[in-house]
Structure 1
Amino acid sequence: MTTPVLEDIDADFPRPHRELIERLAKLPAANIGDAMDRLGVADSAIQAIWPGARLAGPAFTVWVRPGDNQGIHRALQLARPGDIVVVAGGGDESRALLGELIGERAINQGIAGFALDGAARDAETLGEIGMPVFARATTPAGPYKNGPSRLGTAISFGGVPVLPGDIIIGDSDGIVIIPQAQAGVVAEAAEAVFADESNRRGAIIAERRPGN
């Protein structure tokens, strides 16, 4: 009996409008998470590997064997400018799935960043070249390149389901994943949360002023 082989899904999937991504990119990840009833927030261990890194863009999903980055190399051939390469790496922290060289290639191809449920390396250099990378850990140990891997398929990332084209927002608090079909509603709700918190913050500051 022959075991069936899974195939990649077409990488030419619909992306959200850039204007919608830009609206969400202006908002804190925390406000977006609140607007989604605290759902869609990736495992808190997945953080920016250099200070100030931010992510905002559609997910190009990659599923790899833990510690193996063959799928990331394949993704760089197919991902579009502005995409976030989102990698389900099984949470493995023993091998870095990418480093400086992949970061340089990604910049040349207009990739907007990487989100790894796994490890990365060359954190300082990735910061110097301005390639946003969020990962579960950093390690100097390099990856295997044997596969297998799947591109453009549904994945689990940090405990959250991700489909190609879902919107990834990452900041100093971590990562939230917004289903593409709900992105407009989430943006409106998150803007309302941001406005409410801004008003309450202003009132608290006013109470601290002398004479109040």
Structure 2
Amino acid sequence: MSPSKVYLKVNRVAAEIVAQAREVTVADVHEAMGPPGRAALMSARMRPLKDGQKIAGPAVTAFCWPGDNLMMHRALYLSQPGDVLVVVCQAELSGAQWGDLATRYALQKGLAGVVVQGCARDVDQVRALGLPVWSTHIWPIHPDKSGHGFVNAPVVCEGVNVRPGDLIIADGDGVICVPRGEASRVVSAAQGKMRKEDEAAEKVRAGAAVWDLSGAAEIYARMQVEEIDGAYDD
């Protein structure tokens, strides 16, 4: 039996939900999910190669052998416009998973972006080309293309379970994965949260204090904190 498996089809989150998800932030989605939102956030090591970019799309997954990115290339080949390629190589520094040529091909295919637990390289070219890429490392070490692995099977990327077709959202704050079956509810809740924050922003522009709007003042009042009208070293 082959140690590798490649699934050719993906049950993707609905396109209309993806379109709505492009308008919400990772922070709002995280909070809209409640306690499960903590487990849905990839670790803080996952950072964008270029500031100011944001993506949302269904996950296409690849799990790669140490020092090898063959399965990344197979997943990239099978991807469709709007997909987010999620690549995992647990031996993160063993070989770069992403680079210039893959970026050019991904742009030609119309991918939304790429998330890599592992190394990205050719980053100056990748940044110039404009494809949104998040990774845990930048390092140019050469990868082979002969290793086993999996494509379009569940992976754990930076501590988060990602199933093919789940909703991936990424921005300057990081990357979050919303299970496909929860995506509609979560995105709708995030939209509601953003509307409330827009209303709060208007109040701040009108002179209101965040101390009051955030609820901090009310909580602080209940804590019976001793306040001293003076400097600590008087």
- Assess, with a 3 A threshold, how the Cα gap between structure 1 residues 92 and 49 changes in structure 2: closer, same or farther: same
1:159 Cα deviation from its structure 2 partner: 0.4
Which position in structure 2 is the counterpart of 1:49? 49
Match status 1:187 vs 2:187 = yes
Q: Where in structure 2 are the equivalents of 1:152-171 lying within 5 Å?
A: 152-171=152-171
The one-letter code of the counterpart of 1:26 is E
Q: Which moved more, 1:81-90 or 1:10-19?
A: 10-19
Which position in structure 2 is the counterpart of 1:90? 90
- 1: CA distance, partners of 2:93 / 2:202: 42
Which position in structure 1 is the counterpart of 2:120? 120
4+ residue stretches of structure 1 with deviation over 3 A? Answer: 4-7
CA contact (8 A) 1:50 1:123 kept: no
- 2: CA distance, partners of 1:188 / 1:72: 32
Which position in structure 2 is the counterpart of 1:32? 29
Identity of aligned residues (%): 30
CA contact (8 A) 1:33 1:41 kept: yes
Match of 1:177, SS? strand
- 2: CA distance, partners of 1:142 / 1:200: 50
The one-letter code of the counterpart of 1:24 is A
Which position in structure 1 is the counterpart of 2:71? 71
RMSD of equivalent CA atoms? 1.8
1:201 Cα deviation from its structure 2 partner: 2.4
Q: Structure 1 unaligned segments of length 5 or more: list them.
A: none
How many positions carry a matched residue from both structures?
A: 206
- 2: CA distance, partners of 1:54 / 1:126: 15
Q: Which moved more, 1:32-41 or 1:180-189?
A: 32-41
Match of 1:168, SS? strand
- Assess, with a 3 A threshold, how the Cα gap between structure 1 residues 91 and 52 changes in structure 2: closer, same or farther: farther
1:7 Cα deviation from its structure 2 partner: 4.6
1:207 Cα deviation from its structure 2 partner: 1.4
1:58 Cα deviation from its structure 2 partner: 0.4
Match of 1:150, SS? strand
Q: Which moved more, 1:87-96 or 1:26-35?
A: 87-96
CA contact (8 A) 2:114 2:134 kept: yes
1:183 Cα deviation from its structure 2 partner: 0.5
- 2: CA distance, partners of 1:189 / 1:93: 38
Which position in structure 2 is the counterpart of 1:172? 172
- 1: CA distance, partners of 2:208 / 2:176: 33
- Assess, with a 3 A threshold, how the Cα gap between structure 1 residues 143 and 196 changes in structure 2: closer, same or farther: same
- 1: CA distance, partners of 2:90 / 2:196: 38
1:142 Cα deviation from its structure 2 partner: 2.2
Match status 1:102 vs 2:95 = no
CA contact (8 A) 1:91 1:136 kept: no
The one-letter code of the counterpart of 1:207 is G
CA contact (8 A) 2:48 2:172 kept: yes
Match status 1:13 vs 2:10 = yes
- 2: CA distance, partners of 1:33 / 1:129: 29
Q: Structure 2 unaligned segments of length 5 or more: list them.
A: 210-234
